[in-house]
Chains A and B, each alone.
Chain A
């Protein structure tokens, strides 16, 4: 039984009166909607803005009913190599996610299996360091290696975000696999790698999928590393979108269209991994 079942309202005598109950329900939803509104509104406003003309976007009073136009999307795609930016984001995100899985899965397995708690904690330091403290040395290093602006530099930088997260997420999933299967396989002559490959990995498929999606999302959202390490040709979407605001007069419609193009894929992807999200964000400190 959860603590919720015992919320105190159950003990008030008027609880069963239907009218009061209805009022309570209405009040509850009213409060909820009030709190919820700002969170919803920003997205709604972004999407509406993407379908408005410049005049409609700057209209006073603000317009809620208008004839939608696709002009902004047309302009954004025509003036900018958006397909290239999209591809860049996908290449970097996929690379950083795959490498994070390749390096992270065995590490997480080992931490879960051999209870290497210190190693798990040490990985947290990746999160405490300010991102910029990596950037100056990376910038110098990648410059010397003539790697500035290459996908490889971007993928390596993003790996610092995706790898610790993958490890932390996967520790939990590996811990949840039954120890008995494990022991049985070892006794049947499997070595540790065999157990990992034939038992642990298949059992944690949902977790691997969730980690992969979250890694991809965090790489996709990353702005700072890409801002410094990307070139015109390898620029991922967030940096590209940011560069739109350097125009003298801000084209709000185009900006909203671009913002929508960046954010929408993330919002869709996250629908699949809601449960694992908190865990990803806290690097496993709370079982979410």
Chain B
């Protein structure tokens, strides 16, 4: 095929065709993506720009009148005089760091276990996959039942084994950990799958020479596999962190941020300010700061990934 194409190109008529290709390229590269770009811009740029504008105003759509421009007042209030906001930031970061760390350790371990041929591999893989595509609302409801203080199966097991019951969803100091548990259940397979893809792409030569040098399995894992896998893990962590910071469905369904705001993350706080109290300006300011947090996290991981790739 390659031969045939270059044959044609060598002929004089081919030259003309080649020129035509360039002409086509010139407009195609703009025309083809244009509809998608326009749609995405309309759906994104307008809302983002509008949110930025609103964040400098005081406005409630239920009130009469236009947004009142108040410069940085919302931001100043958030940072200096809103405990609920500061707590939400801390909680969001805690939820993300703890959850994603656990998921990373578990997910990479699972990937190492899975990275061999064994009977039933496909079946197990499928079940693991299912947790992360299952409708979050449905999953949240099932977990509500499992975590129920009186009739939940988790407390039944704990009570039989250790004689204690935990108020998974009503104890202010426990509730965030319960949500981390649900998040971990749903998303550990994600890290596993990416790590698995990374493992299967690792080169074999380093292993061959290390084995000749007499390295044992722990050394191979620690000094070869994990360092080589690090760029892949960074990508997995980046996507997982972005999503963990933005977690909404399971928290909203299971606790609605309660009890007494004990599980209120930034996303939920912005939601209740904007779409419950209708403080649109204030909610927009929260969202802008929230966006900076997610953006910063993404950039951090992009850097970490680059560093991990260069270290190899």
A residues sitting closer than 8 Å to B (CB atoms) are 1-9, 11, 28-29, 31-32, 35-36, 38-40, 42-43, 45-46, 49, 57-62, 99, 102-104, 106-107, 109-111, 113-114, 116, 119, 123, 125-141, 143, 156-157, 159-160, 163-164, 167, 178, 180-181, 183-184, 186-187, 189, 191-193, 196, 217, 220-221, 223-224, 228, 237-239, 241-242, 245, 250, 252, 255-256, 258-260, 262-263, 266-267, 270-271, 274, 277-278, 281-283, 285-288
Given the contacts A40-B127, A160-B44, A252-B145, A57 and B194 also touching, CB distance less than 8 Å? no
Do residues A277 and B202 form an inter-chain contact, with CB atoms below 8 A?
no
The answer to whether the Cβ of B103 comes within 8 Å of any Cβ in the partner chain is: no
What does the 1/0 interface line of B43-78 toward A look like (CB < 8 Å)?
110111011001000000100000000000000000
Do residues B242 and A128 form an inter-chain contact, with CB atoms below 8 A?
yes
| Closest CB in chain A relative to B146 CB, distance in Å | 7
Do residues B133 and A186 form an inter-chain contact, with CB atoms below 8 A?
no
Expressed in whole angstroms, the Cα–Cα distance for A56 and B156 within the complex equals 14
| Closest CB in chain B relative to A26 CB, distance in Å | 12
B contact residues around A220 at 8 Å (CB): 135
Contact among A39, A132, A178, A266 for B248, CB-based, below 8 A: A132
Expressed in whole angstroms, the Cα–Cα distance for A277 and B131 within the complex equals 12
A contact residues around B133 at 8 Å (CB): 217, 221, 266-267, 270, 277
Do residues B232 and A62 form an inter-chain contact, with CB atoms below 8 A?
no
Given the contacts A38-B185, A40-B127, A110 and B134 also touching, CB distance less than 8 Å? no
The answer to whether the Cβ of B79 comes within 8 Å of any Cβ in the partner chain is: no
Contact among B2, B17, B134, B290 for A180, CB-based, below 8 A: B2
Binds A, one of B21-29, B82-90, B94-102, B167-175: B21-29
Do residues A286 and B156 form an inter-chain contact, with CB atoms below 8 A?
no
Within 8 A of A (CB), among B1-18: 1-2, 4-5, 8-9, 14, 17
B contact residues around A131 at 8 Å (CB): 246, 248
Contact among B141, B185, B208, B225 for A241, CB-based, below 8 A: B141
Do residues B198 and A5 form an inter-chain contact, with CB atoms below 8 A?
no
| Closest CB in chain B relative to A29 CB, distance in Å | 8
The answer to whether the Cβ of B80 comes within 8 Å of any Cβ in the partner chain is: no
The answer to whether the Cβ of B189 comes within 8 Å of any Cβ in the partner chain is: yes
Contact among A8, A60, A133, A260 for B211, CB-based, below 8 A: A8
A contact residues around B274 at 8 Å (CB): 132, 135-136
User: How many B residues have CB within 8 A of the partner chain?
Assistant: 111
Contact among A58, A130, A157, A245 for B287, CB-based, below 8 A: A130
Q: For residue B20, which residue of chain A has the nearest CB? A: A186
B contact residues around A134 at 8 Å (CB): 43-44, 47-48
What does the 1/0 interface line of B267-305 toward A look like (CB < 8 Å)?
100110011000010011001101100110010000000
Q: For residue B18, which residue of chain A has the nearest CB? A: A187
B contact residues around A267 at 8 Å (CB): 130, 133-134
Given the contacts A32-B113, A133-B51, A45 and B145 also touching, CB distance less than 8 Å? yes
Expressed in whole angstroms, the Cα–Cα distance for A39 and B114 within the complex equals 15
Expressed in whole angstroms, the Cα–Cα distance for A260 and B249 within the complex equals 17
Do residues A5 and B8 form an inter-chain contact, with CB atoms below 8 A?
no
Interface residue SS majority, chain B: helix
The answer to whether the Cβ of B132 comes within 8 Å of any Cβ in the partner chain is: yes
Within 8 A of A (CB), among B216-240: 216-217, 220, 225, 232, 235-236, 238-239
Q: List 16 A-B contacts (CB under 8 A).
A: A1-B204, A8-B217, A11-B211, A57-B151, A130-B287, A132-B274, A133-B290, A136-B51, A137-B50, A159-B43, A186-B20, A191-B24, A192-B25, A217-B133, A266-B134, A287-B197
Contact among B14, B39, B48 for A129, CB-based, below 8 A: B48
The answer to whether the Cβ of B158 comes within 8 Å of any Cβ in the partner chain is: no
| Closest CB in chain A relative to B109 CB, distance in Å | 8
Do residues A8 and B220 form an inter-chain contact, with CB atoms below 8 A?
yes
B contact residues around A6 at 8 Å (CB): 204, 207-208, 211
| Closest CB in chain A relative to B259 CB, distance in Å | 16
Contact among A125, A143, A237, A250 for B44, CB-based, below 8 A: A125
Expressed in whole angstroms, the Cα–Cα distance for A9 and B235 within the complex equals 29
Expressed in whole angstroms, the Cα–Cα distance for A57 and B124 within the complex equals 28
Expressed in whole angstroms, the Cα–Cα distance for A270 and B113 within the complex equals 23
Expressed in whole angstroms, the Cα–Cα distance for A36 and B203 within the complex equals 29
| Closest CB in chain B relative to A188 CB, distance in Å | 8
Given the contacts A42-B131, A135-B275, A192 and B24 also touching, CB distance less than 8 Å? yes
